[in-house]
């Protein structure tokens, strides 16, 4: 049977990582992989995570099945973190949450849930979006369409075009929005723009699905959740997919959450029963370890404060790297305006150079990024920014 198969194209980022590892250049730089790195290039385990994990090891009494919802305590705490515990959707008991295997698991639960509601479902994603959104929803049998989002030419949001498209979308469709730190563009909606999008969502009646993979990496946990919170307070139905991979540094533990907001508590119960059925058919039950760590942190005022402090260090480093690169490029004589990098948010931005220039950076300078020139901001550091800016300057001047 397997002889019928032909190979799938390799993941471009994994291919890039393999090439980077083999490269012997002493100044090589990896701007491909989207994980947080400290100045030394490590992705550290947060101190609050270490403590919570120790507590978990000391107190855990059983490894018995946890059930398709995952830990109820985690679900409550992570929903409060996302929506805010005073959100009208929370106080009216309209929110239900399941723990999921990472943000990707959450998106897949959402995809199967959407498909179950409407077999002809269409999901609208931003152009561009995280590449996996497309494969993931198509794998669930959902048609993926795009709405205009990032203007590569002007390094700006195509907001009017985005609104014009959203204004044509029908009730049965789903619209995927990035809560903050848009991947891959770093271009986020302002609060005023969120308000306009929420108005159109209400007007058209489509279902918003917000993907929040970077809460706390932009401006802070509350500011980053503005769109999620306002949307939940203003629409009947909504789906939120969140991830603890980046903000808790729990990448390999695979912990995230899928929350649904329904019209009222009764509708939320019915919707939840369908979500739980979807989970049972997909993977039965989520992993428990990451959820236990997160619930230990969020459930302790001391550990939560420590986490917020550690998260701020990661956020400040990313925002600092953005400003540092822009300043260095000016210092190295680059006249092209790169100031947009300092204004954008989160782990990624498009440098906005051609694929040929990307290839040249790799061949001549051992600087690795994907062809679209999306760079992972955490790969920049005080020790490599001079070399990086000099190399970009050289490539631009040819
Ligand atoms: C926009 C977006 N959504 C979801 C995810 C999935 O995160 P996780 O690693 O928790 O599956 C990512 C990860 O890079 C992402 O960038």
Binning pLDDT at 50, 70 and 90, where does residue 10 land? confident
Give the number of other CB atoms < 10 A from CB of residue 319. 18
Binning pLDDT at 50, 70 and 90, where does residue 101 land? very high
- Mean pLDDT confidence for 302-324: 98
| Geometric angle at alpha carbon 311, from 305 and 51, rounded to 5° | 55
Binning pLDDT at 50, 70 and 90, where does residue 11 land? confident
| Any ligand 1 atom below 6 A from CB of 247 | no
| Any ligand 1 atom below 6 A from CB of 243 | yes
Residue closest via CA to ligand 1's atom 15 equals: 213
Express the helix, strand and coil content of the chain in percent, nearest 5 each.
Answer: 50, 15, 35
Residue 352 neighbours by CB under 8 Å, 6+ apart: 152, 155, 338, 373
Radius of gyration for the alpha carbons in the chain, expressed in angstroms and rounded:
21
Residue 112 neighbours by CB under 8 Å, 6+ apart: 140, 278, 281, 282
% the chain with pLDDT above 90:
96
208 Cα–ligand 1 center, Å: 18
| Any ligand 1 atom below 6 A from CB of 376 | no
- Mean pLDDT confidence for 289-311: 98
User: Mean pLDDT, the chain, as a whole number?
Assistant: 97
Burial class (CB in 10 A: 0-12, 13-18, 19+), 315: buried
Q: Exactly one of 30, 188, 211, 237 is catalytic; which is it?
A: 211
pLDDT given for residue 9 in this prediction: 82
Nearest atom within ligand 1 for CA of residue 130: 1
- For 12-26, 68-82, 349-363, which range has the lowest pLDDT when averaged over its residues? 12-26
- The conformational region for residue 329 under phi > 0 = left, psi -120 to 50 = alpha, else beta, is alpha
| Any ligand 1 atom below 6 A from CB of 184 | no
pLDDT digits (tens, 9 = 90+) for 209-250: 999 999 999 999 999 999 999 999 999 999 999 999 999 999
Say if CB 44 and CB 257 are below 8 A apart. no
- Mean pLDDT confidence for 47-54: 98
11 or 150: which leads in pLDDT: 150
Produce one character per residue of 220-238: b if its CB has 16 or more CB atoms within 10 Å, e if not: ebeebbbbbbbbbbbbebb
pLDDT given for residue 33 in this prediction: 86
307 is catalytic: no
SS3 (DSSP) at 321: helix
Binning pLDDT at 50, 70 and 90, where does residue 15 land? confident
246 is catalytic: yes
SS3 (DSSP) at 98: strand
- Mean pLDDT confidence for 147-168: 98
Distance (Å, whole) CA 29 – CA 49: 28
Distance (Å, whole) CA 385 – CA 361: 14
Give φ, ψ of 195 to 5 degrees: -60, -40
| Any ligand 1 atom below 6 A from CB of 249 | no
pLDDT given for residue 50 in this prediction: 98
**Residue 266 pLDDT greater than 90, yes or no:** yes
pLDDT given for residue 398 in this prediction: 81
SS3 (DSSP) at 261: strand
313 or 12: which leads in pLDDT: 313
């Amino acid at each position: 049977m397997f002889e019928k198969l032909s190979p799938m194209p390799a993941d471009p980022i994994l291919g890039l990582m393999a090439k980077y590892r083999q490269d012997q250049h002493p100044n090589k730089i990896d701007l491909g992989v989207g994980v947080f790195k400290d100045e030394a290039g490590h992705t550290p385990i947060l101190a609050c995570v270490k403590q919570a994990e120790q507590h978990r090891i000391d107190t855990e009494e059983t490894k018995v099945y946890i059930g398709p919802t995952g830990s109820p305590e985690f679900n409550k705490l992570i929903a409060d973190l996302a929506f805010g515990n005073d959100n009208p959707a929370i106080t009216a008991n309209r929110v239900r949450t399941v723990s999921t295997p990472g943000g990707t698991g959450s998106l897949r639960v959402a995809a199967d849930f959407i498909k179950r509601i409407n077999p002809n479902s269409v999901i609208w994603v931003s152009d561009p979006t995280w590449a996996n959104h497309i494969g993931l929803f198509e794998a669930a049998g959902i048609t993926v369409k795009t709405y205009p989002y990032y203007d590569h030419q002007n390094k700006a949001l195509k907001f009017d075009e985005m609104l014009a498209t959203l204004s044509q979308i029908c009730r049965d469709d789903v619209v995927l929005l990035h809560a903050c730190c848009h991947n891959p563009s770093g271009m986020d909606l302002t609060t005023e723009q969120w308000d306009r999008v929420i108005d159109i969502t209400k007007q058209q009646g489509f279902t918003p699905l917000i993907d929040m993979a970077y809460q706390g990496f932009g401006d802070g946990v509350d500011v980053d959740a503005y769109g999620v919170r306002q949307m939940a307070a203003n629409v009947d139905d909504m789906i939120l997919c969140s991830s603890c991979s980046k903000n808790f540094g729990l990448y390999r533990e695979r912990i995230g959450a899928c929350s649904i907001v329904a019209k009222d508590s009764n509708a939320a119960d019915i919707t939840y029963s369908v979500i739980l059925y979807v989970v049972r058919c997909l993977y039965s039950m989520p992993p428990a370890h990451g959820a236990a760590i997160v619930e230990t942190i969020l459930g302790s005022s001391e550990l939560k404060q420590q986490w917020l402090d550690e998260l701020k260090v990661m956020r400040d480093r990313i925002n600092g790297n953005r400003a540092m690169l822009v300043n260095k490029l000016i210092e190295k004589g680059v006249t092209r305006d790169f100031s947009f990098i300092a204004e954008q948010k989160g782990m990624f931005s498009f440098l906005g150079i051609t694929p040929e220039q990307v290839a040249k950076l790799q061949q001549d300078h051992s600087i690795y990024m994907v062809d679209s020139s999306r760079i992972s901001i955490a790969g920049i550091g005080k020790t490599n920014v001079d070399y990086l800016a000099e190399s970009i300057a050289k490539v631009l001047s040819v």
